[in-house]
């Protein structure tokens, strides 16, 4: 026994010496009565003079409150109670490097004794800091709506792929830029919460498609990254492509997958997407410019009515540049009065008499001469200039019609037809704009007809509401280019239109194609049964005029009767065809 006791004692001393926790025993006022080596080592940085006689003195700089606790609070703590738990003490950095952090626990052993345990938690603190920093970094790298990587990650990936391709020409890659078609319509009609829900579904479909991969993916194990750039825009980076065509395969599959119907809440929703693909970009390019090229190609896909992908070609840059320059010139044209309106007569097919005219815009370009609308209407729509352009055409043509009524009397055309583009209806305030044009010019509302395209009229409730607002002004609405858009004869009755204009592409084949004749006839019948009037566009021959007349189309318009003409020429045309001699 006597031999065992010192061994146990020694073992205990050894234990206290070696335990990797600092232990300090003090009196209530902090006087140190016992301290193990680890505690001395941990506290040493706080006492440059090496004086470890009072714990509260030692800790004063980092935890001055301790003295107060021992004096005031401690007596109330019963023996065995914890005075302070896990106080974190950040020691001043001795040398350069991370500051050291100690955790302190202070207990009351008995009526007159305190016990402090100290441990170095610097590493844990560091780890925690790193975890927080990573979390913070993730927040700046992850899109919160879809949990996809964000633009920053996409750009990094593209940058990485460019560098890899520069080092090894075999490392081909492609970038797919995805934009949902007419997404604003979803937000407008279903609300933004449904819009968000739909975007999450789109993201899931992209992830599913990209991750699934294909034979290409399995064989070569390419790195595929799908990210959300923001709004309804996504990007997919396909690395490690075997051949460039593989990018097209993925783009085609994505197009198909994204165009399948969705269900939001319990409503079926149709959405399509347009995609721009850049295959094996110039390795000298920047990630930003690769993304820009892909977005240019995406715009091309949109221009071709969406729901498709388009592969980037350098020519697109030139075209985009041209469009950009047209935009600038068009702005000037609007302020410098380079735009003017021409009028194409519309005749009654039975009597052959003129009944009205369609106003069509032209641009007298200082260098290029007369520019047709096909070259600038779309740009005006994309750049928001269409509002001002449309307002100009409306005001000018209303003014012209009133001037003709004055000058030509009985010979003056009665019905003015003006084109309205999709963007004008979306801009809002269109009914006010039209009402003002009517009021300022004095044109009676029943002499004005606005032409909207089929694809537009068939769309959402908001557009329909706008169309009803317009109709409430007392004017009529015509469905332009019928037969080229989305809606079918079966849905014609849902559209708030008074007139159907049969598209030129049908009329031009009326003589040569029985199929087209049948379609024209069916359209005329359905329109008549709905009480809608009909106009055939683009009549170029007597034969076409004869067929449409026989099929009982109400009115006709086309080069066979007259081309669009400047106002003075149009005035002479109307006078020459008047039953009575003209005033003018
Ligand atoms: P649209 O509304 O279908 O206008 C008819 C187009 O067909 C006009 O072309 C007209 O010149 C042309 N056209 C008429 N008869 C014939 C024919 O017998 N044969 C052939 N081959 N063509 C014929 P334009 O004036 O170049 O206008 C093209 C399109 O530009 C218009 O198509 C319309 O969508 C748009 N547009 C023109 N003016 C305006 C405008 O003031 N505002 C808006 N928003 N769009 C306009
Ligand atoms: Ca038209
Ligand atoms: Ca038309």
**pLDDT tens per residue across span 332-347:** 999 999 999 999 999 9
From 76, 105, 124, give the residue that closes a domain.
Answer: 124
Residue 64: per-residue pLDDT: 84
Residue 311: per-residue pLDDT: 96
Residue nearest to atom 30 of ligand 1 (CA): 373
Segment among 78-87, 453-462, 511-520 with least mean pLDDT: 453-462
Residues 190 and 113 in one domain: no
Sign of CA dihedral 566, 567, 571, 577: positive
Q: What distance in Å separates the CA atoms of residue 498 and residue 554, rounded to the nearest whole number?
A: 12
pLDDT level of residue 457 (50, 70, 90 thresholds): low
Q: What are phi and psi of 296, to 5 degrees?
A: -60, -45
* Ligand 1 atom nearest to CA at 393: 41
User: Which residues have their alpha-adjacent CB atom under 5 A from ion ligand 3?
Assistant: 480-481, 537
CATH number, domain with residue 230: 3.30.70.270
Residues 414 and 533 in one domain: yes
Residue nearest to atom 35 of ligand 1 (CA): 373
Higher pLDDT, 485 or 495: 495
Residues 25 and 157 in one domain: no
Strand partners, 27: 113
Contact 74, 43 (CB under 8 A): no
Q: Among all chains, which residue has been given the structure tokens 């023996």?
A: 79
Residue 214: per-residue pLDDT: 39
* Ligand 1 atom nearest to CA at 503: 3
What mean pLDDT do residues 422-432 have? 84
From 124, 140, 171, give the residue that closes a domain.
Answer: 124
DSSP state of 153: H
Residue 541 in this model has a pLDDT that exceeds 60: yes
| Ligand 3 centroid – CA 503 distance (Å) | 6
Residues 348 and 492 in one domain: yes
Q: Among all chains, which residue has been given the structure tokens 């879809």?
A: 146
Got the DSSP string for 30-49?
A: -BEEEE-HHHHHHHGGG-TT
Higher pLDDT, 444 or 189: 444
Residue 470: per-residue pLDDT: 95
Report which bound ligand comes closest to the CA of 389: 1
| Ligand 3 centroid – CA 481 distance (Å) | 4
Residue 582 maps to a domain:
no
Residue 140 maps to a domain:
no
Residue 7 maps to a domain:
no
Of 392, 371, 282, 270, nearest to 329 (Cα)? 371
Segment among 41-45, 62-66, 415-419, 573-577 with least mean pLDDT: 62-66
Q: Is 78 helix (H, G, I), strand (E, B) or coil?
A: coil
Contact 500, 534 (CB under 8 A): yes
**For 18-56, how does the pLDDT look when each residue is reduced to its tens digit (9 = 90+)?**
889 999 999 988 999 999 999 999 999 889 898 999 999
Residues 464 and 546 in one domain: yes
| Ligand 3 centroid – CA 416 distance (Å) | 15
CATH number, domain with residue 553: 3.20.20.450
Residues 350 and 498 in one domain: yes
Instruction: Tell me the CB-side half-sphere exposure of residue 496, using CA atoms within 13 A.
Output: 19
Residue nearest to atom 24 of ligand 1 (CA): 373
Residue 403 in this model has a pLDDT that exceeds 80: yes
Residues 119 and 219 in one domain: no
Could you tell which of 397, 419, 430 is best to mutate to test the pocket of ligand 1, judged by most ligand atoms within 8 Å of the CB?
Answer: 419
Residues 162 and 307 in one domain: yes
| Ligand 2 centroid – CA 183 distance (Å) | 26
| Ligand 1 centroid – CA 361 distance (Å) | 9
Residues 210 and 288 in one domain: yes
Residue nearest to atom 33 of ligand 1 (CA): 419
Residue nearest to atom 10 of ligand 1 (CA): 564
| Ligand 2 centroid – CA 451 distance (Å) | 6
pLDDT over 90 for what percent of the chain? Answer: 62
Residues 303 and 191 in one domain: yes
Residue 89 maps to a domain:
yes
Strand partners, 551: none
Q: What distance in Å separates the CA atoms of residue 305 and residue 563, rounded to the nearest whole number?
A: 29
Contact 445, 435 (CB under 8 A): no
| Ligand 2 centroid – CA 480 distance (Å) | 5
Residue 131 maps to a domain:
no
Contact 49, 58 (CB under 8 A): no
Task: Look at phi and psi of residue 370 and say left if phi exceeds 0, alpha if psi is from -120 to 50, else beta.
Answer: beta
Residues 115 and 158 in one domain: no
pTM of the full structure:
0.63
What burial class does residue 260 get, using C-beta atoms within 10 Å of its C-beta: 0-12 exposed, 13-18 middle, 19+ buried? exposed
Residue 24 maps to a domain:
yes
What's the 3-state SS for 529-559? HCCCEEEECCCCCHHHHHHHHHCCCCEECCC
Residue nearest to atom 3 of ligand 1 (CA): 481
Instruction: State the residue range of the domain holding 478.
Output: 335-576
Residue 205 maps to a domain:
yes
From 80, 109, 124, give the residue that closes a domain.
Answer: 124
Strand partners, 536: 502, 556
Residue 5: per-residue pLDDT: 63
Residue 279: per-residue pLDDT: 92
Strand partners, 391: none
Q: Which residues have C-beta atoms less than 6 Å from ligand 1?
A: 344, 360-361, 372-374, 377, 390, 393, 419, 421, 451, 480-481, 504, 537-540, 558-559, 564
Residue 218: per-residue pLDDT: 43
pLDDT level of residue 215 (50, 70, 90 thresholds): very low
Higher pLDDT, 540 or 375: 540
What mean pLDDT do residues 302-330 have? 91
What mean pLDDT do residues 546-559 have? 97
Residue 223 in this model has a pLDDT that exceeds 60: yes
Residue 139 maps to a domain:
no
Contact 45, 58 (CB under 8 A): no
CATH number, domain with residue 36: 3.30.450.20
| Ligand 2 centroid – CA 548 distance (Å) | 18
Residue nearest to atom 42 of ligand 1 (CA): 419
**Number of domains making up the chain:** 3
pLDDT level of residue 444 (50, 70, 90 thresholds): very high
Residues 161 and 78 in one domain: no
Residue 149: per-residue pLDDT: 92
């Amino acid at each position: 026994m006597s031999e065992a006791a010192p061994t146990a004692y020694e073992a205990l001393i050894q234990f206290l010496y070696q335990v990797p926790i600092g232990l300090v025993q003090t009196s209530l006022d902090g006087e140190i009565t016992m301290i193990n080596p680890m505690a001395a080592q941990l506290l040493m940085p706080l006492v440059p003079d090496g004086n470890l006689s009072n714990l509260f003195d030692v800790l004063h700089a980092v935890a001055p409150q301790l003295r107060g606790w021992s004096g005031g609070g401690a007596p109330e703590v019963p023996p065995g109670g914890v005075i302070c738990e896990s106080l974190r003490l950040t020691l001043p950095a001795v040398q350069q490097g991370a500051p050291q952090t100690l955790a302190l626990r202070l207990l009351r052993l008995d009526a007159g004794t305190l016990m402090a345990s100290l441990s170095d938690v610097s590493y844990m603190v560091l780890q925690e800091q790193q975890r927080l920093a990573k979390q913070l970094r993730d927040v700046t790298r992850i899109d919160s709506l879809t949990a996809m990587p964000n633009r920053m990650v996409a750009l990094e990936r593209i940058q990485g792929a460019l560098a890899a391709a520069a080092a090894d020409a075999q490392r081909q890659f492609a970038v797919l830029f995805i934009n949902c078609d007419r997404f604003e319509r979803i937000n407008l009609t279903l609300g933004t919460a449904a819009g968000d829900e739909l975007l999450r579904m789109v993201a899931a479909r992209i992830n599913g498609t990209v991750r699934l991969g294909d034979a290409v993916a399995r064989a070569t194990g390419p790195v595929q990254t799908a990210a959300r750039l923001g709004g309804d825009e996504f990007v997919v980076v396909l690395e490690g492509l075997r051949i460039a065509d593989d990018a097209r395969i993925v783009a085609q599959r994505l197009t198909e997958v994204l165009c399948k119907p969705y269900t939001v809440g319990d409503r079926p929703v149709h959405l399509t997407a347009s995609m721009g693909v850049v295959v094996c970009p110039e390795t000298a390019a920047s990630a930003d410019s690769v993304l820009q090229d892909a977005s240019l190609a995406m715009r091309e896909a949109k221009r071709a009515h969406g729901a498709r992908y388009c592969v980037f070609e350098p020519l697109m840059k030139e075209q985009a540049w041209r469009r950009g320059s047209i935009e600038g010139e068009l702005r000037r044209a609007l302020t410098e009065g380079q735009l003017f309106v021409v009028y194409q007569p519309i005749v009654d097919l039975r009597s052959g008499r003129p009944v009205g005219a369609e106003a069509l815009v032209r641009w007298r370009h200082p260098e290029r001469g007369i520019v047709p609308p096909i070259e600038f209407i779309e740009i005006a729509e994309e750049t928001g200039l269409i509002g001002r352009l449309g307002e100009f055409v409306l005001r000018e043509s209303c003014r012209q019609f009133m001037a003709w009524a004055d000058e030509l009397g009985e010979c003056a055309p009665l019905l003015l037809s003006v084109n309205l583009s999709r963007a004008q209806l979306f801009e809002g305030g269109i009914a006010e704009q039209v009402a003002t044009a009517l009021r300022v010019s004095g044109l009676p509302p029943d002499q004005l007809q606005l032409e909207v395209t089929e694809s537009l009229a068939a769309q959402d409730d908001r557009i329909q509401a706008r169309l009803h607002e317009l109709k409430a002004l007392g004017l009529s609405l015509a469905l332009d280019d019928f037969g080229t858009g989305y809606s079918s004869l079966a849905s014609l009755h849902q559209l708030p239109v008074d007139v159907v204009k049969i598209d030129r592409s049908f009329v031009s084949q009326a003589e040569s194609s029985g199929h087209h004749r049948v379609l024209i006839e069916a359209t005329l019948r359905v329109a008549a049964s709905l009480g809608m009037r009909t106009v055939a566009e683009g009549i170029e021959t007597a034969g076409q005029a004869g067929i449409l007349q026989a099929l009982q189309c109400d009115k006709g318009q086309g080069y066979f009767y007259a081309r669009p003409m400047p106002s003075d020429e149009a005035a002479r045309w109307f006078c020459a065809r008047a039953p009575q001699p003209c005033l003018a």
